């Protein structure tokens, strides 16, 4: 009777090893996506923190303001002058959006060149997201857009 059960262990191992390898690879990919989201959130936070303490930010022309450009370079390269290499591959300053928030919504720019009252918050976001494609063998997943954002109280002056 014992003779007939000798090959069962090899067959069970052959059936379960691919499933276990697939689960391990999937866990590694979930860890990579989580770590990348954390790194993006930290970059967005550093840009918002830098902007929240700046003096003389031109909120009428955020795209052309040198403080905003320096903050976005800080988010991408870790330096305000952009001399470093990108912290995350394929991350550019064009992926970020900076906006001023007054109370519950965006500030009105009708009073430009001076926004009155000064903004309460600075919001830095990635509206299009940073797209990542998880790689799991035998499983096709849609690309995942990671869209971190930070709203920081503005403590500087306009």
Structure tokens given for 34: 């989580």
Residue 2 counted as domain residue: no
Residue 153 DSSP symbol: E
For residue 136, being part of any structural domain is answered with yes
Tally Cβ neighbours within 10 Å of residue 103. Answer: 10
pLDDT category at 103 given cuts 50, 70, 90 is: confident
Residue 158 within any structural domain of the chain: no
Q: Are 26 and 141 in contact, with CB atoms under 8 Å apart? A: no
Number of domains in the chain: 1
Q: What is the pLDDT of residue 75?
A: 93
Q: How far apart are CA 128 and CA 1, in angstroms?
A: 65
Q: Which domain holds residue 67?
A: 10-153
- Give, for 98, the enclosing helix (H) or strand (E): strand 97-102
Tell me, yes or no, whether 16 lies in a domain: yes
| 4 in a structural domain | no
The pLDDT of residue 110 is above 70:
no
Q: Which two three-digit tokens encode residue 24?
A: 């391990």
Query: Is 141 within a domain?
Result: yes
Query: How high is the pLDDT of residue 135?
Result: 87
């Amino acid at each position: 009777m014992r003779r007939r059960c000798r090959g069962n262990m090899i067959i069970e191992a052959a059936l379960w090893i691919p499933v276990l390898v697939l689960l391990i690879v999937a866990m590694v990919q979930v860890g990579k996506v989580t770590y990348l989201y954390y790194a993006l959130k930290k970059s967005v936070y550093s840009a918002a923190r830098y902007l929240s303490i700046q003096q003389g930010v031109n909120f009428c022309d955020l795209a052309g303001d040198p403080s905003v450009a320096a903050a976005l370079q800080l988010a991408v390269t870790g330096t305000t002058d952009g001399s470093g290499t990108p912290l995350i591959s394929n991350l550019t300053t064009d992926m970020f959006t900076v906006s001023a928030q007054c109370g519950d919504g965006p500030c009105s720019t009708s009073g430009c060149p001076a926004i009155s009252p000064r903004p309460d918050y600075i919001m830095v976001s990635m509206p299009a997201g940073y797209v990542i494609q998880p790689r799991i063998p035998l499983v096709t997943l849609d690309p995942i857009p990671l869209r971190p954002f930070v709203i920081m109280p503005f403590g500087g002056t306009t």
